[in-house]
Amino acid sequence: MNSAIQQRDIEQLARLLASGKSNKDGGADASLITSLVEGSAWRKYNEDAYSEAYELFVLSENADGQYLSLNAQQKHAMARELACSIDTERFLRRCADGLAQQQLYFYENGDYKSSIKTAQQLGDIRALTLDELTLLGWAAAKYGDGETATLAFEKVLKQNPDDDVIAGELVRLNSNNRLKLNQLASAFPVVNTRRQAQVNSSAWPRKQFLLSYINADTRSTTAQTKDAFSVVSGITTRSRSGQSGLGNFDVLTSYIGIGDIYKGWQWRVFLDYKQFYSGAAQSGAWLGDDLLGDGVRSAVSNNITGFEDKGLRADIAYQDVGFNFYANVEYGMFDQPVNADITGQISATWFLPKLTLATTLFRYPKEDSMLSQTGAFNARNEDAWGYVLEDGIRGLAAYELAPRWSVAGTFQVSTMDGETVDSNSALSVRGDVSYDIATDVSDMLDYWRVGPFASYSGYKHNRSGFTYGNGGYFSPNYFISLGLYSELLTLEALNWQLKLSNSIALSRLEQTADSRFPLIASPDIESDADPSVALPYSETTGLSGNFLAEAQYRIGNDWIVAGYMSKAFAVEYQAFEAGIQFRWRGGEGSGVTSDELLLSSPRLRGFAL
């Protein structure tokens, strides 16, 4: 037998063990043989002859020796398999140690799937350590298994609640799972802090100041208190000079409003008091169904040239990560010539990494004349008609081409209907390219965008007349402009702010000679109404442009004053607008933000930006 051991004659030793077990005293013989084999195996092990030792340990069924010999030969996988196949406390510990090493090995070699599987096997044996949980989380995150990564990182934060890096990864993993992210933010303050920081990093440059305030961005909370009751009061004036007489239109508006925030929703309610003034119809002008001075009745206009009335409006706004929503509803005026209808708009905006998309559904009166905005009376001061409501959709897409460079496009499709006014439809589009020169000019500027633009608008019919079937609103067959624009805004969160917008363009328009009475098929012998009578045809080229200045100033913690002034001109008309507002809101604040510039309201701007 010693000879068999010395010669490593495994087959002979195996026969001897089998023979010993089969003899009558086989138990004793087998035990003796096993003892001799084990002794020889340990001598080989101590002599670093690990391969020979392993064979003898297998023969003697010595699991400890096999495990040690395999590890000594760097055959860790075989050693781990052996350890995991033996259900004893010692070997389970060895199994766990081997799995932990394998988990790290797979991770370092980029085999994240195997690293995850190994960690899960390890977790079936014992609880994972903090390092093992962390490694599992990162492996799952890199493999794209967000659920497994989240579970692992949650356990990490329970043991190490101040781990900012892990918190940031949890926010990233669950950025599209709002429910889970809110649960994590509620459970772990560090996650809430990172979530707020991530939200604010995009909300502030996107001008989502309500969202940044709700998420405790110090820039917003220091500038002003938004979640407090507010009262506003102001006055605006708007003057339009177009066709002589009836084409001149002035509106003076006084208003008072209140507002607050409820569960992240901003709401406001306003009472408007408006005074409307329209130029008087001249002799030789058409009004209703009369040609004044020269017609069948030789009428002199006795219609009203203005009135005063009240109206109500309300709006709500909401901001979320990458999303804005706005809606408003208006009723007024209460006693206007043509009964008022409910009007308003619904707007939504989506912010993508380099792309901004916005859309608005709207229903508003055309504000070009008293006839189109509220309705008016004929020369006999009876039979009100007009009040043209425009229903439509508008959209915007803006894309960041490169740092400081962007391109944008807008469109609007709408239809128009009014009381005794023929239906109409319109299309408008605009495209522009801009370059931000603010950093080259002053560190007091938030942006200064300059660039070219091109625009087109066109109406199916010319309904600019003040006769039955027409609505008194500017409706050219086409109006094309090609020009340059500039817009600058000073820094946010200072106690003052200024915004300037300018444009100049070469424009060309055509107004077709459509019928003054499109709703009738034959002449009316009792009036001057005749479908063959047409509006004057015109085709003109000239300059158009506008200048707009907005400003606001914080007087103290509670008070802000804001105002604007705008002057616009086109080929055949001029317009002037101005307004001032005093705003009181409880709370503290040291600055102002551009979302509260008066013309930044989505109601006036057209989009929830």
pLDDT at 3 over 70: no
Per-residue confidence (pLDDT) for residue 10, from 0 to 100: 55
Q: Are 175 and 189 in contact (CB under 8 A)?
A: no
**Which tens digits make up the pLDDT trace of 518-540?**
999 999 988 999 999 999 999 99
**Domains of the chain by residue range:** 2-201, 219-605
Backbone dihedral region for residue 322 (phi beyond 0: left; psi -120 to 50: alpha; all else: beta)? left
Q: Are 146 and 173 in contact (CB under 8 A)?
A: yes
Q: Are 129 and 158 in contact (CB under 8 A)?
A: no
Q: Which 3 state secondary structure label does DSSP give 317? A: strand
Question: What is the rounded average pLDDT of the residues 10-26?
Answer: 55
- Sorting pLDDT into bands at 50, 70 and 90, what band is 369? very high
**Which tens digits make up the pLDDT trace of 444-485?**
999 999 999 999 999 999 999 999 999 999 999 999 999 999
**Which tens digits make up the pLDDT trace of 141-169?**
999 999 999 999 999 999 999 999 999 99
Give a three-class secondary structure readout of 271-298: EEEEEEEECCCCCCCEEECEECCCCCCC
Per-residue confidence (pLDDT) for residue 577, from 0 to 100: 97
Q: Dmax of the chain from CA atoms?
A: 144
- The more confident residue out of 11 and 105 is 105
Q: What is the pTM of this model?
A: 0.83
Report the share of the chain in percent with pLDDT over 70.
94
Question: What is the rounded average pLDDT of the residues 377-383?
Answer: 89
Taking alpha carbons only, the member of 106, 56, 48, 46 closest to residue 73 is 48
Alpha-carbon span 218 to 192, nearest angstrom: 15
- Sorting pLDDT into bands at 50, 70 and 90, what band is 22? low
Range with the lowest mean pLDDT among 164-178, 250-264, 346-360? 164-178
Per-residue confidence (pLDDT) for residue 35, from 0 to 100: 72
CATH fold for the domain made of 2-201 = 1.25.40
Per-residue confidence (pLDDT) for residue 26, from 0 to 100: 46
**Which tens digits make up the pLDDT trace of 430-449?**
999 999 999 999 999 999 99
**Which tens digits make up the pLDDT trace of 72-87?**
888 777 887 777 877 7
Alpha-carbon span 303 to 69, nearest angstrom: 111
Q: Are 470 and 463 in contact (CB under 8 A)?
A: yes
Q: What is the mean pLDDT of the chain?
A: 91
Helical pair 50-59 and 26-46, crossing angle rounded to 10 deg: 170
Per-residue confidence (pLDDT) for residue 63, from 0 to 100: 76
Alpha-carbon span 496 to 520, nearest angstrom: 57
